[in-house]
Amino acid sequence: MSRASRRQFIGASATTAAALALTRRSLAQDPLAAIRDEVRETHDEGVGRLQDWVRLPSIAAESRAMNEGCEYMMELARDAGFENVTRVDTKGHPSVFATLDAGAPRTVGLYFMSDVKQADPAEWSSPPFEARMVDKPGLGRVVMGRGAVNQKGPEAALLTALHAIRGAGGKVPVNLVLIAESEEEIGSPNFRDAVLKPEVRAALSKCMGIFMPSAAQDPDGGVTLSLGAKGVVELELVASGERWGRGPKKDVHSANRAWLDSPAFHLVQALNTLVTADGDPAIDGFADRARPVSAQEKAMLDEAVKRRSEATYKKMLSAEHWAHDLPFRPALERLMSAPTVNIEGLVAGYTGPGGKTMLPTRAVAKLDLRLVPDMTYDGAIRALRAHLDARGFEDVEVNPSGGYNPTSTSPDAAVIRAQVAVYERLGLDPLLWPRSAGSYPGCVFTDEPLKLPSGHFGLGHGSGAHAPDEYFVVESENPNVAGWDGAVMSYVEYLHELATIS
């Protein structure tokens, strides 16, 4: 059933609607209860909203369905009640800017991404773009598909919250400014430009803060409230006979290795200098500006280690040992505070089955570097370039494809305090977490000129971002983990809290 026909079906079920109306709480009696009823009644429609969205994957890395994804994002926003929904063209793929004027005193920003990571169907147990309902033992029923948790699931839950408020006859308690980009998964190369367009910047500057919908619960139900994120640089290192002036300038038979240098080994040698024997970053000056872990952050980590399960993390990651064989507490500290140099991919010469006796002229390493405050995107690239130059790798190309600075928000910001208040009211004791080890372009909001507090919020659980079998829990077996309705309601509660927090 399409989204439209599902809506018609629900609209046309007069008898069902009438029957339900008898048991519904009125908005005047108990606003949240009335909205909760509406969420429950429109459960299938809400989950369908997520499933349909997963079935239209926009993949920036492959320039796949970018216009369709933009149109779809605009339609989702309009359906949810946004009035001014416009496409923001950039040098790359477009963003969507939308506002919802509820006539409220306060305005809150929403940061969405409409794109997803690539997915290789061969690696999935359920087709990545079919968004099937799958039973996951111990978790319950999940929607499995690319983008289920990163980030369409939480975003669709937030949109469903807006539908539910309206459906229950209410009004959104704050004005909303939505900015949705479509290049998050390639490092948001043009998002800053979109955010700083005069009309977008003007709208965002009225916001008390901004947040991205997120499934904050781990598989045990614990909630983590992140106060920032590492920055990231995505780049390709390229060694080639053409640039090196050594080895062949085209692929040749590998017999010639005896008298020709190998650009692929040149790349290996360059890569080898980027990490210590233990695999830690060894790029000169890379982490000079890395801020030491503060006493407040250490206290958060001390709390975290008591409340998080090392075994759960290891199981989720299929890992036996942390780097350096660290115990859990220092490993957690590294997760939050260590800059990293990672190989995302290696490509050179013949990559198919078996072998091929060739001497390739070109070799590529896809890297990501993660940055902590006060490291910067530009500084990391400069350090890498200088490091390679100092070691005779002047010819090795450093081709950044995207990324951004780290981002931090104070725990005292209203958007953060409102999160804590909601979680606590729902009986959860959120864990304050200094910094996500992953990245999001929050710096676009937290850096000059906007300097907005920025965060992630939302109940629910999912996993598998950037990996096969990504999922988002819809019917939860664990009472401590929110399913779809709980995730939706968490946004309803948060918006109300933002409207009133002092």
Of 21 and 317, the one with the shorter C-beta distance to its own copies is 317
Binding region for its own copies (CB under 8 A) out of 9-17, 41-49, 90-98, 355-363: 355-363
Given 466, 475, 478, 501, the residue binding its own copies (CB under 8 A)? 466
Q: Give residues with Cβ within 8 angstroms of 25, minimum separation 6.
A: 33, 34, 37
Nearer to its own copies, 106 or 266 (CB): 266
Size of site (CB under 8 A) for its own copies = 93
Pick one of 134, 290, 338, 381: the residue that binds its own copies (CB under 8 A).
338
- The whole-angstrom separation of Cα 113 and Cα 151 is 7
Beta carbon nearer to its own copies, 44 or 374: 374
Q: Please state the closest distance from residue 370 (CB atom) to its own copies, in A.
A: 7
* Stretch in the footprint of its own copies (CB under 8 A) among 35-43, 44-52, 198-206, 233-241: 233-241
Stretch that binds its own copies, among 43-51, 75-83, 358-366, 445-453 (CB under 8 A): 358-366
Region from 41-49, 153-161, 405-413, 459-467 binding its own copies, contact rule CB under 8 A: 459-467
Binding status of residue 437 toward its own copies by CB under 8 A: yes
Regarding 172 and contact with its own copies (CB under 8 A), the answer is no
CB 326 within 8 A of CB 305: no
- Residue 462: count other Cβ atoms within 10 Å of its Cβ: 25
How many Å separate Cα 256 from the centre of its chain?
46
Note whether 232 binds its own copies by CB under 8 A.
yes
User: Is residue 488 near its own copies by the rule CB under 8 A?
Assistant: no
Mutual angle of helices 43-54 and 153-167, in 10-degree steps: 140
What is the full DSSP assignment across 169-196? T---SSEEEEEEES-GGGT-TTHHHHHT
Rounded Cα distance, 89 and 302, in Å: 45
Q: Does 218 bind its own copies (CB under 8 A)?
A: no
CA distance 435 to 230: 7
**SS3 of residue 232 by DSSP:** strand
Q: Tell me the window of 24-32, 207-215, 218-226, 364-372 that interacts with its own copies (CB under 8 A).
A: 364-372
Binding of its own copies at residue 264 (CB under 8 A)? yes
Rule CB under 8 A: is residue 340 a binding residue for its own copies? yes
402 is a site residue for its own copies (CB under 8 A):
yes
Q: Is 306 in the site for its own copies (CB under 8 A)?
A: no
DSSP 60-118: GGGTBSHHHHHHHHHHHHHHTT-SEEEEE--SSSPEEEEEE--S-S-EEEEEEE-----
Amino acid at 52: D
Q: Which residues pair with 456 in a beta bridge?
A: 212
Q: Minimum distance from CB of 285 to its own copies (Å)? A: 19
Q: Per CB under 8 A, does 250 bind its own copies?
A: yes
Q: Does 326 contact its own copies by CB under 8 A?
A: yes
Q: Does 169 interact with its own copies (rule: CB under 8 A)?
A: no
Q: Which is nearer to its own copies, 39 or 237 (CB)?
A: 237
At position 207, the amino acid (one-letter code) is: C
How far are the Cα atoms of 266, 276, 379, 387, 459 from residue 273, in angstroms, in the given order?
11, 7, 18, 9, 42
Among 2, 23, 29, 318, binds its own copies (CB under 8 A): 318
From 74-82, 133-141, 197-205, 361-369, span contacting its own copies (CB under 8 A)? 361-369
Alpha carbons 469 and 349: distance in angstroms, whole number: 30
C-beta of 166 vs 314, nearer to its own copies:
314
- 10, 65, 467, 501: which one binds its own copies (CB under 8 A): 467
The answer to whether residue 1 forms part of the interface with its own copies (CB under 8 A) is: no
Give the largest CA-CA distance in the chain.
87
Q: CA–CA separation, 332 vs 308, rounded Å?
A: 10
348 binds its own copies, rule: CB under 8 A: yes
Query: Is position 251 an interface residue for its own copies (rule: CB under 8 A)?
Result: yes
**Would you count residue 9 as binding its own copies (CB under 8 A)?**
no
Torsion of CA 454, 38, 169, 75, to 10 degrees: 60
| 272 makes contact with its own copies (CB under 8 A) | yes
Return d(Cα 90, Cα 189) in angstroms, integer.
Answer: 10
Contact between 241 and its own copies by CB under 8 A: the answer reads: yes
Does the footprint of its own copies cover residue 312 (CB under 8 A)? no
The least distance separating its own copies from the CB of residue 93, rounded to whole angstroms, comes to 12
317 is a site residue for its own copies (CB under 8 A): yes
- CA angle 408/236/240 to nearest 5° reads 160
221 binds its own copies (CB under 8 A): no
Q: How far apart are CA 179 and CA 56, in angstroms?
A: 19
Of residues 130-149, those binding its own copies (CB under 8 A): none
Q: Does 352 bind its own copies (CB under 8 A)?
A: yes
